[in-house]
Amino acid sequence: MTNLFKQLKSKYRKRLLSESEKYSSVNILITKLESYKFWTDLTIREFNSFCTWTGTNAIGCSVSDIKYGDKFIKKTKE
C-alpha cells in the first residue's frame, strides 16, 4: 500500500506542493502524510492543517470525509 500523500487526489497533492514552496511549515504536514498509510492515522490537528493548506472548508466536509478521507483520497479499484 502506498503512503497517504500518494493516495491523495491530485488537486490536493498539487496544492500542498504549491503551498510548500511559499511556506516551509507545509513540509511538516507532507512528511507526516508520507509516513502514514491510512487517513485514520491523521490527528485532528493534522486534518486542520490539511484543510488550511489545501483551501478546504472543514465545515463543508461530511463525517465520512473527516473520518475516512472520502473527499480527499483517490478511489481504489476492487
At 23-77, the pLDDT tens digits run: 999 999 999 999 999 999 999 999 999 999 999 999 999 999 999 999 999 987 6
Q: Is a pLDDT exceeding 90 seen at residue 9?
A: yes
pLDDT of residue 77: 66
Parse the chain into domains and list their residue ranges: 4-68
Q: Is a pLDDT exceeding 70 seen at residue 13?
A: yes
pTM of the full predicted structure? 0.90
CA atoms within 13 A on the CB side of 19: 19
Count Cβ neighbours within 10 Å for each residue of 21-50 and write b for 16 or more, e otherwise: eeeeebeebbebbeeeeebeebeeeebebb
pLDDT of residue 76: 75
Helix axes 26-35, 44-54, angle to 10 degrees: 120
pLDDT of residue 78: 55
Q: Which residues are CB-neighbours of 71 under 8 A, at least 6 positions away? A: 56, 61, 62, 64, 65
